[in-house]
Chains A and B, each alone.
Chain A
């Protein structure tokens, strides 16, 4: 009996030491050097939530339809090429419904060539598209398959996350959170602790500084009317008007309109790197870029076939520069244009990190200032200290000797909870602190249940050791049931909640789990030691 107790005491002290270490250092090796205050060094590894340390919390919606649109634009262009190669005549390939970018329509195929058109479509596109039509009206609809579209959506969101992560890295944020959010709604959660300058964050994250190079079919014209007149009022479906202020020819910065091919020669995702620079002769700002290998090959092919023609550099939907192709270019080049210094800096940063595959909208945005966070920490800790002290004093007064027992168990409960937090790297939020406080209130319930039961057994005339034994045995079932139900609701909170609320669920669950150990095991050992030391006929102080 005695020996067994000693073993248990050793276990308890072992647990105490392990979790004390966890509470102060977590899994990191202890590092007490540096100029910070001792408290700061000791709590360095505790992750504070955004609500406590201040920061930006954003939920973004990725406009995946845009990526689908780009993809089907490319497909439409390829279909035209393939039909031409197969000598199938048609009137047009269009995207009939802007609200349904997954849909392509081929019109005006003569009935004699219907089967030839069909086989072109079937051969090359039936893996990714559903193909229908080919009836008397000579039109086909080519629709992206839902699973392909879903995969494209997912890829777009993943790419966006990657791009945002790269961009956020340039902000120098410690431990940013960037992850998919919600259930298949193409949303992204971004949490940036310690940042409160939301404007800067927005510029960096959402800058759609998408750089593309398009073939120029005509221009510049002073306005769209003039441009439309130049094509006799009928703009081909694979071309588009793009405004810009490229200083080609006359050198003026006035707004003008160009007719460009819809499909880019070099797309936003084709750039590998970009660096800002200055032209040594003219002093103009330049961006020097390098393309990916694959895009370089494509670019080489295009530029060698089109020497003498011009191409336009389009940034964020505006023509920035129009250049003549003087010789074939492979994978690097220089863009000169009317860039401001900021534009060049942001542009090269964006090109280095890659362009966003689709634009994004803000769904939610919470910014907590650092001073509010500091206030919350102070208030949370005050409330916790007051709450714990009140409970501990009450237990001492009400249960006398056994109150010490309960207070020791509560103290160990707190240490284990904080140790858990330290080891798991879980984030402490303001509701999380509330969870700690609640754990104390609910954790002491186990002690109360047991003590009340022991009192009852003693009233029934049982000897101290039997009363303790019975008290623990009877209370155990109840304690287990109550803990399970609370942990069930905390788990549901964890699954459904976000941010601060998750922090609450975590501390409450850890706290109650630790409570099973402290209130039942530790408290029992202390009781057993006490009962062993009782002289014959002496009662338990409860």
Chain B
């Protein structure tokens, strides 16, 4: 069985379409992020909807025996004097689950009061045996800020690590192209969270596990890019007469079957995670679902054309055609 029999597509000829496609998605992501930024949640500005990990505050997952009535829960908490509680249905309706969130407490010592208050309010209204508290997360402002810093640093370090590795294994321009492609993927994936939010689909939030997904994505997108780059490097060594655009096109075509197969297979596993993995992993698998599609696309449509664009720019500025000939493979 074979999906692609020796494809011969002029990928570089379509670079303007690719550019337009990437721009549309990046820009709509950025606009959504800006929109989210201008509507602070609980007095805190952020470009993307943040999970309780980063946002801070209290989040309680309650499972009821009967179908919960959001309005009654709201009354119960209001009667107990709990301010600003957000109450939403969680997961699939048949699970009878509700997520109750309280905004961040600015005083660290009063962190815990919310949990007790909510528990008491629910007990008073519905009786102790009619619900079960399944998950409680209380995150103070200190930890929220530390995590935010760590997550940003982790993403940047990981991109930097890739850049250095590729610089060492290929050449600086290969590393730069790959890292820009990865950044493009990260931007669009994170933007997708903001985009969903601005279309009114709430609940997809950037949490710690989503950051893990994004870092995985950086590694994954890098994989795809490296496979294409490896082929370009090999082909450049074999046929020195061919022009760079031809070599790049040929390399993409040669690896196309592999790229599509691997992405498809990884996509299958991630999709299974998205469908069966439950609500805890939903944000994580969503990031991967989006990221794998974009990551595959970007290695063909962003990273490789960038090599050609770089060479054309160098040829234009120095009036000398210079191939970014890669170092010889050391392995």
Contact = CB atoms under 8 A, between A and B. Distances in A.
Nearest to A487: B219
B185 to A, nearest CB: 13
Interface residues of A, number: 76
B17 interface: no
A95 to B, nearest CB: 23
Contacts of A371: 63, 132, 134
Nearest to B169: A481
B278 A376 contact: yes
Interface stretch (A284-292, A296-304, A435-443): A435-443
A91 interface: no
B161 interface: yes
Contacts of A27: none
Given A434-B284, A449-B258, A497-B154, A363 B135 contact: no
Contacts, number: 229
Contacts of B281: 379-380, 383, 430-431, 434
B216 A362 contact: no
Given A434-B284, A442-B220, A449-B227, A456 B268 contact: no
B276 interface: yes
Contacts of A505: 212
Contacts of A51: 280
Nearest to B133: A369
B140 interface: yes
A485 B209 contact: no
B315 interface: no
Interface in B100-149: 108-109, 111-112, 115, 132-140, 142-143, 146
A431 B283 CA distance: 11
Interface in B205-248: 208-209, 211-212, 215-216, 218-220, 222-223, 226-227, 230-231, 234
A369 B331 CA distance: 50
A542 to B, nearest CB: 10
Contacts of A476: 331
B80 to A, nearest CB: 18
A397 B134 contact: no
A438 B162 contact: no
A448 B275 CA distance: 25
A400 B142 contact: no
Contacts of A375: 278
Contacts of A486: 216, 219-220, 222-223
A198 B146 CA distance: 24
A452 B273 contact: no
Summarize B's interface: helix, strand, loop or mixed: helix
B142 A493 contact: no
Contacts of B72: none
Given A449-B227, A452-B258, A505-B212, A362 B112 contact: yes
Nearest to B52: A366
Given A372-B61, A485-B226, A394 B111 contact: no
Contact of A362 (B2, B138, B266, B277): B138
A378 to B, nearest CB: 8
B257 A452 contact: yes
A501 B73 CA distance: 33
B223 A485 contact: yes
A364 B139 contact: yes
Among A369, A440, A489, A504, find the residue whose CB has the most chain B CB atoms closer than 10 A. A489
A398 B265 CA distance: 12
Contacts of B320: none
B135 A492 contact: no
B280 A376 contact: yes
Interface in A228-266: none
Nearest to A430: B280
B269 A390 contact: yes
Closest 10 CB pairs of A and B: A441-B266, A379-B278, A387-B269, A489-B219, A486-B219, A441-B269, A496-B154, A383-B276, A387-B272, A482-B223
Given A452-B258, A459-B6, 5 more contacts: A362-B111, A379-B281, A481-B169, A484-B165, A501-B211
